[in-house]
Amino acid sequence: MPNHPDVMEKLVSLCKRRGFVFQSSEIYGGTGAVWDYGPLGVELKRNLQDRWWKAMVRQRDDIEGLDTAILMHPRVWEASGHIGGFVDPLVDCSNCKKRFRADDPKIKGTPGEPDAQCPACGMKGTLSAPRLFNLMFKTFMGPVEDSAATIYLRPETAQGTYVNFLNVQQSTRQRIPFGIAQIGKAFRNEITPGNFIFRTREFEQMEMQFFVEPGSDMKWFEYWKEQRMKWHQGLGLAHDRLQFHQHSADELAHYARAAFDVQFDFGGSLGFQEIEGIHNRGDFDLTQHQKFSGKKLEYFDHAANKRYVPFVVETAVGPNRTLLAILVNGYREENVEGETEGRTVLGLSPALAPIKAGVFPLVKKDGMPEMAHKIADDLRNVFPVFYDDSGAIGRRYRRQDEIGTPFCITVDGESTTADTVTVRDRDSLLQERIATDKLREYIGQRIAE
Ligand code: ATP
């Protein structure tokens, strides 16, 4: 098993220094496990979300997009099992951060006492006393703060999709098998959050529910497993850092027929962790909503002249956690041949990089800044670029390497007469001379790869 170094501490500092991720409400001392995305972070996250949307919705005729509200009818959470299921007495281990039901037979000793032993990491005295815990954030709707007005912030986007299953199917006239995808915020009052943006209390999900005829579910489950792994590989995540983890019988949710996680090796002690879950949920969700709402959520198959409640294969991935994987995967420090100063590089795939090109005049005279400004303004119409004329050219290259900018365009003495510029590749460090009027095409092609 590869043992990648732990780069988390260095990344947290780079993310703050360069404007990827800031602690929420930092000037007040921060909010627990909540983070804000800075100018570069928001671009990177958006590129990631757009890529998912394109692969899951735009490029397919069998998946529809949806955007449902965060606040839903409270009965939704009774039907989904989040209200009943999320208020168990739980204990957590301060060492390995795992959480257990207080009545877990694998716990030896009394939780909260020094004799108690964590069933996962085996440490003694690290288990908290049992406490009732509901992962959902609760608030009130309207002016009266009583139990009748209680409402929850959704802990997943999927339920908004289930309750809209027929609205989407009927308005689009989709036939099974088809899917519904959405990207949106989710909130979980995690008791063991941490590892930077890995596990937070406010995060986003990109979830797709694929509705299939019962009996064809395992075929579709295998299909989606393969598709989703390919998608992660396409982000540029190293193949040896990705693996599947199959849920064993005691990990499986009671309604799930099969579940696999896509795991990424975050390095150090965190190691392989889930970034996406692929679940065969059977007909559990639609059946529950039928029961609790009293409304039928059946599909009518015209060709076969039969009605049924479809099964669901779900793919659920977090853009925040995947963004962390992308940063961890891309971070490297290296020496450059012939130079004394090393460099820090974020080896992001050009398609995801927040800034596609740095544009520099070699010196601030002889018409070079004017020409560089003109190039930057032109390119800015198609993708984000950054104009920089401050400091030595080597420094300017380093600043772009550190934020993952794949190309640096330099206007030099030859440029103003020959109408050409140099384009430096972040990874190979090779410089090519390109005609100014070919720049859009050249970079456009490289970032589409
Ligand atoms: P975990 O076991 O890590 O808590 P989960 O199995 O509860 O995750 P799902 O409910 O399957 O996660 O959610 C799908 C995806 O949403 C996860 O793979 C992860 O990328 C993301 N996700 C879930 N919880 C969080 C969180 N607290 N912070 C950031 N991302 C999260």
Cβ of residue 415 lying under 6 Å from some atom of ligand 1: no
Please provide the average confidence, as pLDDT, over all residues in the chain.
94
Ligand 1 pocket, residue 190 CB under 6 Å: yes
| Nearest-CA residue for atom 25 of ligand 1 | 199
The pLDDT, as a whole number, for residue 35 is 97
CA–centroid distance, residue 334 to ligand 1 (Å): 33
Phi, psi angles (nearest 5°) of residue 209 = -110, 120
Sign of the dihedral defined by the CA atoms of residues 154, 183, 259, 210, in that order: positive
**Assigned token pair, 401:** 């390497």
User: What is the rounded average pLDDT of the residues 273-302?
Assistant: 97
Q: What is the pLDDT of residue 230?
A: 98
The whole-number average pLDDT for the span 389-402 is: 96
**pLDDT(99) > 80:** no
Q: 317: which strand partners?
A: 206, 276
The residues pairing with 179 across neighbouring beta strands, listed in sequence order, are: 63, 210
Ligand 1 geometric centre to CA of 117 (Å): 26
Q: Is residue 316 within 6 Å of ligand 1 at its C-beta?
A: yes
Q: Is 348 exposed, middle or buried (0-12, 13-18, 19+ CB in 10 A)?
A: buried
Per-residue model confidence as pLDDT tens digits over 176-226: 999 999 999 999 998 778 899 999 999 999 999 999 999 999 999 999 999
Dihedral-angle region of residue 173 (phi above 0 means left; psi in -120 to 50 means alpha; beta otherwise): left
pLDDT of residue 87: 60
Mean pLDDT of 113-142: 89
126 closest CA partner among 97, 104, 151, 163: 97
Q: Cα of 106 to ligand 1 centre, how many Å? A: 24
DSSP letter at 48? H
Q: Is 204 in the pocket of ligand 1 (CB under 6 A)?
A: no
Distance 41 CA to ligand 1 centre (A): 20
Q: From the CB of 155, is ligand 1 less than 6 Å away?
A: no
3-state helix, strand, coil in the chain (%, to 5): 30, 25, 40
- Of 13-22, 133-142, 163-172, 391-400, which range is least confident? 133-142
Q: Is 319 a pocket residue for ligand 1 (Cβ < 6 Å)?
A: no
Judged against a pLDDT cut of 90, whether residue 127 lies above it is answered with yes
Angle between helices 368-380 and 439-448 (to 10 degrees): 50
pLDDT value, residue 443: 95
Q: Report how many helices (DSSP H) and strands (DSSP E) the chain contains, helices first.
A: 13, 23
pTM, two decimals, is: 0.92
Which of the listed residues 321, 322, 326, 328 should we mutate to test ligand 1's pocket, taking the one with most ligand atoms within 8 A of CB?
Answer: 321
| 361 Cα to the center of ligand 1, angstroms | 45
Q: Whose CA is nearest to atom 23 of ligand 1?
A: 318
| Beta-bridge partners for 6 | none
Residue 70 near residue 155, CB atoms below 8 Å = no
Tokens 């930057």 correspond to 376
**Does residue 205 have its Cβ closer than 6 Å to ligand 1?**
yes
Tell me which amino acid residue 114 is: P
Q: How far apart are CA 96 and CA 122, in angstroms?
A: 9
| Atom 29 in ligand 1: residue holding the nearest Cα | 199
Dihedral Cα 406, 412, 417, 423, nearest 10 deg: -20
| 321 C-beta closer than 6 A to ligand 1 | yes
Cβ neighbours, 10 Å, residue 251: 11
**SS3 per-residue string spanning 199-213:** ECCEEEEEEEEEEEC
User: Could you report the per-residue pLDDT of 303-357, keeping only the tens digit for each?
Assistant: 999 999 999 999 999 999 999 999 999 999 999 887 788 899 999 999 999 999 9
How much of the chain exceeds pLDDT 70, in percent?
Answer: 99
Residue 223 or residue 148, greater confidence: 223
Q: Which of 397, 395, 394, 403 is nearest to 345 (CA)?
A: 403
Which atom of ligand 1 lies at the shortest distance from residue 261's CA?
18
132-138-144 Cα angle (round to 5): 125
Residue 85, pLDDT above cutoff 60? no
**What residue has token string 């889930």?**
274
Q: In whole angstroms, what is the distance from residue 39 CA to residue 139 CA?
A: 31
CA 301 – CA 72 distance, rounded (Å): 29
CA dist list (Å): 9 to 14, 210, 241, 321, 328 = 9, 38, 19, 16, 11
